Structure 1
Amino acid sequence: MLHLSRLTSLALTIALVIGAPLAFAAQPAPAVAPAGTAATTKAPLPLEELRTFAEVMDRIKAAYVEPVDDKTLLENAIKGMLSNLDPHSAYLGPEDFAELQESTSGEFGGLGIEVGAEDGFIKVVSPIDDTPASKAGIQAGDFIVKINGQPTRGQSMTEAVDKMRGKIGEKITLTLVRDGGTPFDVTLARAIIQVKSVKSQLLESGYGYIRITQFQVKTGEEVSKALAKLRKDNGKKLKGIILDLRNNPGGVLQAAVEVVDHFITKGLIVYTKGRIANSELRFSATGKDESEAVPMVVLINGGSASASEIVAGALQDQKRAVVMGTPSFGKGSVQTVLPLNNDRALKITTALYYTPNGRSIQAQGIVPDIEVRKAKITSEQDSEYFKEADLQGHLGNGNGGADKPSSSGGKAKPMPQDDDYQLAQALSLLKGLSITSGR
């Protein structure tokens, strides 16, 4: 995954470690399969092409301006083989492979940016909450046009990410372009990124808010705890829940399945289809709905990818939640990691995943039920109207209710929905659903 790591971002995976299914991922959430797994019967080796390859290698060694050793040439050839398949397939050296395995722990070094490639440029898929990138104001959709003054156009993802990684505490300057505007510099220091997978709070009495920043191994468990805490803090059954998946780049497949399982009682969650047997899996609900079937809104945007799209798509297809926001990223392919010798691995795309209704999200994304674009909220001071309760000698309420004069008291505590238009709209919809359902 990388929060500025060497792997292409936004990969969804299913891990098959020592033959046992295990969700293992995190940007690129990959599946790990035993080394030597064969997808099909081996075909005869293309001898003519291999002769050409050997001839090219000999010519480079003999004529290139600087000496190049066999190991470098062969590794570069392997990288070329994988990188030309699709944006998410890659050859993982020892360091890359170790980073991938460690990424599911939720702690890694970097800037806190999920990146992708678009039209030859490096594009920010999403900043991770509470990291140097998010604190510096970097936004999803920003293009990184320079790294420490060096242009990124034409660089591979690996080359660009290599330059953005480095010693913890060292500063790096990124030149960004936002919405086609003038380039500007952002200087930030590399840090250990500790991602808090799940955050939750009551927005108002009865209305809970759960934000998932990425899908890690324990995300399902954390969502379960968040639901329990919301019920406890509310003191009674909730009236509605908002699940915020905006700018969530994905992660562990099994975690996405577990999250959906907390909100539905039955039915299919997601399935995958590919050429090899291990790539065809189906995941269904276990009947442990912990949300008590209260009205629900899921928020998504262009930074919601991979595992986020599984969750949004499943809840949408199962008619469990209203999906609101803007269309998601469209990362609907599954990567499998095949370990090699010397702590290396291949990460290759082996399948596509499908929502319960059979939709492939690849290159299309999840379309929200209600589109609500990002907007700024400008608060205006309410006029102080003179009320009946302010009049001297006014009659009391016949039913014994307390008077409500115009001076209503102190300033309200700031809440997330106060300056988040999409969240405010989601909360308004939940209130309407709560009223019409009689909760």
Structure 2
Amino acid sequence: MKRVRSTLQISPLRAIALATCCLAAPGLALAQDQEAQTQQILEGIQNGERVQIQLPDPEEQLPLDDLRKFTEVFSRIKAAYVEEVSDRKLLESAIKGMLSDLDPHSTYLAPKDYEELEESTSGEFGGLGIEVGMENGFVKVIAPIDDTPAHKAGVLAGDLIIKLDEKPVKGMSLEEAVKLMRGKPGTVLTLTIMREGESAPIEIDVTRDVIKVTSVKSRMIENGYGYVRITQFQAETGRQFRQALTKLEEEYGGDLDGLIIDVRNNPGGVLQAAVETADALLDEGLIVYTEGRIQSSRLRFSAKAGDIMEGTPIVVLINGGSASASEILAGALQDHGRAVIMGTKSFGKGSVQTVIPLDETHAIKMTTARYYTPEGRSIQATGIKPDIEVRPAELTELDGRPFFTEADLSGHLQGQDEEQERLERQQQAETPASAAERDYQLRSALNLLKGMNILNRRDQGKNK
């Protein structure tokens, strides 16, 4: 049904009476709007004008019957619940219910929760080291954070936690489950997990610890090819990312031949940090924009001039544990054609939460917008699809050399680099497998960069 706002032409005396009723009747409009409307009416009356009044839309008024129902339930609980309940607890429970029923990411932050949120975005907090959400009444692991107790114990993205020690998770709120997972460092928590591909639950013992998250890690994965791992987007991630790239180029002694950015199992974090990271690699254009109901939730973030890598080929690794800010980075680089996205489809969290302080110790975290990639794609519940899908796999090295070669024949003619090749084969056999050799997705990314680099050099040679 189409909504229609009614307007009436009334005389000055009638206007006074109606204005008085509007101000006295609760729930008809916001007080500020009523005050402004009343002032406009009075000014019109003083000028002897006929005044036009806009009546409030009945569908936008506060539901008085439901409010009466709320106060009735409130008073009944106060009077008859088996144990005495304070007004504060009942009101806080009502606030929690209002938010938690909206979506999985909106919540009420009591003092301890508010403090823990600030700790997690700053990079140090206590617990197991996993980002979690709710699915079908169970706690779902979005991603284990690198180098944390959960990661070291073998917890994987996508695991469903069905028991915490001996307590079933079914029926718990996410807040209650998180409180059980946090605890004194050094204590052990047994997670009972359902994992895809396993027919029976798995029990994993995790020793709680103080979680110190290093947001950006980097190293030379091979001569000329840099690797940057972003574990979580924190307030300083953008600056640390730039520093990591500068350090890699200094270590190599010039421009890199290729760069791998790994955001697998990165649960997200601070939106601005993802924007700053993408900005470092883009020379111009939109990075991400958000759309919401209120003006402050409609934002646009664009890149400033200057690509710190000056066009160096980039591969971004993603998987089902890449969420939120990770997807912003991958989506922006994908839409601009600045990087090849490789791996498996990302988590699909395309909403933005705003933390709204209520006082010094309480706040609400509320979903206020959806975000969109530069080309207008919303990834909410669909995720970022990789340009090249590469599923994780276990590698088994096979000896690809022939049974014997010319060099094995007795009395063969000496080759030009025969001795050097023999030494290289011997050294390779004695060297432990590198990270790229153990990690199939990482190895695929490195091979792609090598291929892109070979083609670029050939093109440059043709143009000379």
Of residues 174, 186, 209, the one that matches 1:157 is 174
Gaps of 5+ in 1: 1-37
Q: Tell me the equivalent position of 2:155.
A: 138
Matched position secondary structure for 2:457: coil
Distance 1:396 1:141, change over 3 A: closer
Deviation, 1:406, is 4.1
Unaligned runs of 5+ residues in structure 2 are: 1-29, 35-59, 459-464
Number of aligned residue pairs = 398
1:279 to 297, 316, 340: 297
Structure-2 residue corresponding to 1:18: none
Q: Distance in 1 between matches of 2:282 and 2:403?
A: 47
Q: Distance in 1 between matches of 2:83 and 2:254?
A: 73
Alpha-carbon deviation of 1:184? 2.1
Computing the radius of gyration over CA atoms, which structure comes out larger, 1 or 2? 2
Query: What is the match of residue 348 of structure 2?
Result: 330
Q: Does 1:107 align with 2:133?
A: no
Letter in 2 for 1:208: G
1:65 aligns with 2:82: yes
**Does the 8 Å CA contact 2:352/2:368 hold for their aligned counterparts?**
yes
For residue 198 of structure 1, the aligned residue among 205, 216, 228 is 216
What SS does structure 2 have at the residue aligned with 1:272? strand
**Correspondence for 1:433:** 452
> What one-letter code is carried by the residue in structure 2 that aligns with 1:152?
V
Shift in alpha-carbon separation, 1:345–1:372, aligned structure 2, 3 A: same
Higher relative contact order, structure no. (Cα contacts within 8 Å, ≥ 6 residues apart)? 1
- TM-score, L = length of structure 2: 0.82
Give the C-alpha shift of residue 99 in structure 1. Answer: 1.5
Cα distance in structure 2, aligned partners of 1:366 and 1:172: 34
- Which of the numbers 126, 145, 149 marks the counterpart of 2:143? 126
Kindly provide the CA deviation profile for residues 279-307 of structure 1, in whole angstroms up to 9, marking residues without a partner as x. Answer: 11111111231112111111100000000
Deviation at 1:71, TM superposition (A): 1.3
- Contact in 1 for aligned 2:95/2:108 (Cα 8 Å): yes
Match of 1:187 in 2: 205
One-letter code of the match for 2:437?
D
Give CA deviations for 1:50-72 in whole Å, capped at 9, x if unaligned. Answer: 21111111111222222222111
1:363 aligns with 2:377: no
The CA distance in 1 between the partners of 2:307 and 2:280, in whole Å, is 5
Structure 2 partner of 1:16? none
Match for residue 241 of structure 1 among 237, 255, 259: 259
**1:323 positional shift:** 0.5
1:47 correspondence with 2:64: yes
Higher-helix-fraction structure: 2
Q: How far off its partner does 1:342 sit?
A: 5.3
Partner of residue 113, structure 2:
96
Q: Distance in 1 between matches of 2:420 and 2:115?
A: 63
Larger displacement relative to structure 2 (113-122 or 308-317): 113-122
2:367 aligns with 349
Maintained 8 Å contact 1:386/1:406: no
Counterpart position of 2:5:
none
Deviation, structure 1 residue 48: 2.1
Which residue number corresponds to residue 418 of structure 1? 437
Q: Which amino acid aligns with 2:129?
A: G
1:409 aligns with 2:418: no
Equivalent residues of 1:387, 1:405 under 8 A apart: no
Distance 1:342 1:106, change over 3 A: closer
Matching residue's letter, 1:379: E
- Percent identical pairs in the alignment equals 58
Alignment correspondent of 1:293: 311
Q: Of 300, 304, 322, which residue of structure 2 is paired with 1:304? A: 322
1:147–1:375 Cα change, 3 Å: same
Q: What's the offset of the Cα at 1:388?
A: 4.2
Deviation at 1:85, TM superposition (A): 0.9
Tell whether 2:320 aligns with 1:320: no
How many angstroms apart in 1 are the aligned matches of 2:265 and 2:337? 23
1:360-384, Cα deviation, whole Å (9 max, x unpaired): 1111110111111111111224557
